[in-house]
């Protein structure tokens, strides 16, 4: 076994976290530029740039806080997460391991643990900050892993909390929701322009209202898939790198690398994608980016290969 709890390993983790912090800032900046660009385009279509920008601000003010406040409820609702049964030996052991890892990581509060009623072995962490963080593990994971392996997986999830990856995910999801709403508004404006014959002012100025309407309609139809694709690619590029730092930090928390290594080997033993029933038992495809392992994502995978 190689000793990974060394000053060199600590330096590697710190450097990865620093790089991820910079990349996260770039990601948020790009998403904000997308929001600004869509708001500007809405204003252009309405012949009132200030109104378009105001629409963007209003959507952000409403959607982002709402997404953050309801995030935990939505996630637990989709995954059907429940509180652990302390009379169940494995569930009680998971709680104890999470408490120990939280102390080792210096968290102010032990994250709440929820059990997902799925036989698919998996785990995730979420929440906006340390005080609101929570961890979910499936019944299948508790049955598959021994104590050292379970500790490694929980250490990986605690690492995401320490590095504030969960906060980034919440913010990114909120911004993507804003982008999709603005795209929807733009689509409606484009369709309305096509049905009503476009702006009379444009027609008087250029005499080419038909061409303008066609351009507006094409932009309205194309912008949604482009916005979704760009947002997904940006999120994937950041999420993949964060997994390496989470693994390295988990080893430092556990002071033992074989537990996490064996756990990843077990999780990586499955090569085929999840069936529809398995995916639904985990909360659906929407939660793919949150789990430690989600086979079958391929190009748009938010995780590197196990």
Beta strands in 103-214 (DSSP E): 112-116, 123-126, 134-138
User: How far is 178 from 60, CA to CA, in rounded Å?
Assistant: 6
Contact 300, 232 (CB under 8 A): yes
Tokens of 51: 């109104």
Tokens of 96: 């104890």
- Residue 306, SS3 per DSSP: coil
Residue 124 CB: number of other CB atoms within 10 A?
A: 26
User: How far is 123 from 224, CA to CA, in rounded Å?
Assistant: 31
Burial of 178 per CB tally in 10 Å (0-12, 13-18, 19+):
buried
Tokens of 232: 């997904």
Which residues are designated catalytic?
Answer: 157
């Amino acid at each position: 076994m190689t000793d990974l709890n060394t000053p060199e390993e600590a330096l590697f983790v710190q450097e990865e976290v620093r790089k991820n912090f910079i990349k996260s800032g770039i990601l948020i900046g790009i998403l904000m530029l997308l929001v600004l660009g869509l708001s500007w385009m809405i204003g252009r279509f309405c012949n009132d740039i200030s109104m378009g920008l105001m629409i963007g601000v209003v959507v952000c003010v409403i959607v982002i806080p709402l997404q953050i406040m309801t995030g935990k409820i939505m996630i637990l609702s989709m995954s059907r997460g429940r509180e652990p049964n302390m009379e169940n030996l494995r569930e009680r052991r998971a709680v104890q391991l999470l408490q120990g890892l939280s102390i080792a990581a210096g968290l102010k509060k032990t994250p709440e643990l929820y059990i997902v009623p799925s036989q698919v072995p998996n785990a995730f962490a979420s929440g906006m900050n340390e005080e609101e963080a929570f961890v979910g593990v499936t019944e299948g994971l508790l049955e598959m892993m021994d104590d050292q392996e379970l500790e490694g997986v929980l250490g990986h999830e605690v690492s995401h909390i320490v590095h504030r990856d969960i906060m980034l995910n919440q913010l990114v999801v909120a911004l993507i929701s804003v982008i999709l709403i603005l795209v929807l508004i733009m689509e409606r404006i484009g369709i309305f322009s096509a049905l009503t014959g476009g702006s009379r002012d444009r027609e008087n100025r250029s005499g080419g209202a038909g061409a303008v309407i066609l351009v507006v309609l094409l932009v309205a139809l194309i912008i949604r898939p482009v916005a979704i694709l760009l947002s997904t690619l940006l999120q994937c590029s950041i999420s993949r790198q964060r997994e390496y730092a989470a693994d390295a930090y988990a080893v430092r928390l556990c002071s033992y690398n074989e537990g996490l290594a064996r756990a990843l080997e077990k999780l990586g033993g499955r090569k085929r994608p999840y069936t529809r029933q398995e995916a639904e038992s985990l909360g659906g495809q929407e939660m793919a980016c949150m789990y430690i392992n989600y086979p079958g994502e391929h190009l748009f995978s938010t995780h590197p290969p196990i």
